[in-house]
Each structure stands twice: as C-alpha cells, then as structure tokens.
Structure 1
C-alpha cells in the first residue's frame, strides 16, 4: 500500500512528533533553594558578619579576596563548606524543570550569541563575593546561541536537569541542563 507523502507528514506530525516536544506544563517550576540540601541552605543564610562590611563593587568585593580570608570559627567554616558544596538533590536527576535565572557567559559563537554558560540564581554571580555554590549553578549549552543584550537580563530556562559536575575558571556547577527553551523572564 502506497501512502501519499502529505498523509505521511500528517501522521508523523500527529503521532510521532509530539513525543519529542515538551509543553510548558511538562516542566516543573522550581526555586533555586530546592536544588540544595536544607543544611547547606541554613549555613548560607547564617553568613559571616565580615560579608556585611564589604561594599558592593569595592576592591574587597571579589571572589579571589573572599577565598584568601582566614576564617577560624566553626560557623564560618560551615558557611565555607556550604559555598563549595557539591551535594545535590538526587530526585532532580533527569527531571524536566523550569527555573528563572541569569546567564554567566562561558563561550559565544561568531554571531556573539552565548553558546555555553552557567545558569545562576542572581545577577553578578561568579564576579562578586561570595560566588554561588556548585549546587546553585547549572551548566548549559545552546547550539543556536542565546542573544544576551545585558548581563543583568533574567531568563526562564526549561530543560532536563542532570547531576553532572562541570568545571570552568569562573566556577563549578553540580548540575547540567539539556535545554529545551530559553525565554526572557516575565513575572507571572
């Protein structure tokens, strides 16, 4: 039996193609704190008083300066551990999620679109101190690239998260994302 080409296309579109497409409702919207263990979150919320004395944009407001500080008390050491934490939430492995965030560009194409980047919870991450912990950074690639007009431009990211570490000179992520969609952030 010979099937007309337009019927083949319609059958493919109707029966097969939808299996490869995730709708917005297929992505579980999450908040950044859900990607880290509760005790790491508690340690980060109980930050050292030293950080309150550092003015944004000052010479002391750098990741390198923060790494060179000598912290001796137990509370501050636990804070430091939480900042380096690779501990993840296993239930997110291979999950389709939707998360708001900012782009830390790692690589761009000839059209100046960002093709490799970290997704982070706040603007200025990886530049100002303290940097986000690895369990608060997601590594992603985009074949077509993302047009980034401004570093403080927020986005919605949709895709499948995997527990997989990625290291770069700007930071380390404990998660990666196979991107499905990147859209400008709009509060809903």
Structure 2
C-alpha cells in the first residue's frame, strides 16, 4: 500500500492534501478543503474558534504514526491493520480542551445531517473539512462537533457550509460517522459565505 493511501484511509490527510479528489457536483469544494475565514476572534462578544483551537496544545494527532514505516505497508498485511487500529483508537480517544466547556462560541464547518424532519435539520455533525466522515474516515474526536439545532435548520444538505453559534460542551459521544468530542447547543446557524463571494 502506498503511504498516501494508508494515511487517507485513516482520514489523516488534511483538506488540501487529497490531490485529485473531486468535489460533489453541487459544491465548490474538493475532498479535504477547509474553511479559512478572515474574521475577527470576537464577533459581538462571542469567541470565534478555529478548528485548531479544539485541539489541546500538548496533543499531537500524528503521534500514533511515530515509528511506522508507511512505505512498507501493504493491503492484507496484519501489521497494516494493526497500525490502522492503533491510530484509529488514538483518534477516537483524542482529548478535548476542557477550558472551552460552557463557552458560547462561533465556528464554521461542513454539515452532516443526523436528525431530519422533512426539509428541517434538527441535529448534525460539524466537521472541519469537506468529505470528512463521508468520503474519508472520521477525523479525531476533537475535530467533530455534535450540533443540536434549535430552531431547526431549513433547506440544508449534506456537506453544506455553515457558521454555528451556541454553547459548547465537552461531551464525548458515538455517532454512525465517528466518535465525537464536543457538542454545541446551537442558538444560531447561518450559511458560511467565502470572503471573496461577499465582495
């Protein structure tokens, strides 16, 4: 197995590293693309987060790769499966930033609807890059947010880009798409618009 294939199987490649991946027909994004807003840190007194803010400073998401010779790994080799399982376990148990618990925050991301009623989305996962959990395996738990939308979000689809504002909790849970490290009780969900599109 090629090194890039092994890493992409684990979802380790960041948005921009999955060269050659095609975007969904209705999207301007390619698998792995991240949102990079140029907005201030505080918006109306609410702390605006970047996804890196959800990762403890002393935690290295790539530590589980140390000592692995990815170039020598092949499909069907039990050592490859063992290595993948080791990384997945480390990512499922990724620590959260406890100091963020209870803060009202604003963060952009890609939506994975989880609970819907007709054209309303009642709950969804928010992920940092296009295709996470759908076209690639899930990122670390501290890079997935379970969002409870109240009021419900209308007319949204899989991988729509949104800003979410609400109270953040460090609540770990499991979902069909991966282990989740955070939850937001959303007070407001609005479409994310690229800076260039606003002008």
TM-score using structure 2 length: 0.62
Shift of 1:166: 2.3
Q: Which of the residues 43, 48, 73 maps onto 1:29? A: 48
State the alpha-carbon separation in 2 of the partners of residues 170 and 184 from structure 1: 22
State the alpha-carbon separation in 2 of the partners of residues 175 and 122 from structure 1: 16
Which runs of at least 4 in structure 1 moved beyond 3 Å after TM superposition? 41-50, 76-82
1:154 equivalent in alignment to 2:165: no
1:94 equivalent in alignment to 2:114: no
TM alignment of 1:1-188, pairs within 5 A? 24-38=43-57, 39-43=59-63, 49=70, 69-72=80-83, 79-109=87-117, 111-188=118-195
Farther off after superposition, 40-49 or 148-157: 40-49
Instruction: Give per-residue Cα distances to partners, 1:81-121, cap 9 Å, x unaligned.
Output: 44212411111011111111011111101x32111111111
Shift of 1:152: 3.1
User: How well do the aligned residues superpose, as a CA RMSD in angstroms?
Assistant: 3.1
Q: Cα gap change, 1:95/1:44 in structure 2, threshold over 3 Å: closer, same or farther? A: farther
Q: Cα gap change, 1:78/1:171 in structure 2, threshold over 3 Å: closer, same or farther? A: closer
State the alpha-carbon separation in 2 of the partners of residues 48 and 27 from structure 1: 44
TM-score using structure 1 length: 0.65
Shift of 1:42: 4.5
* Equivalent pair of 2:138/2:177 in contact (CA under 8 Å): no
Number of residue pairs matched by the alignment: 147
Farther off after superposition, 139-148 or 169-178: 139-148
SS of 1:126's equivalent in the other structure is coil
Judging by fraction of residues, say which structure has more helix.
1
State the alpha-carbon separation in 2 of the partners of residues 48 and 161 from structure 1: 38
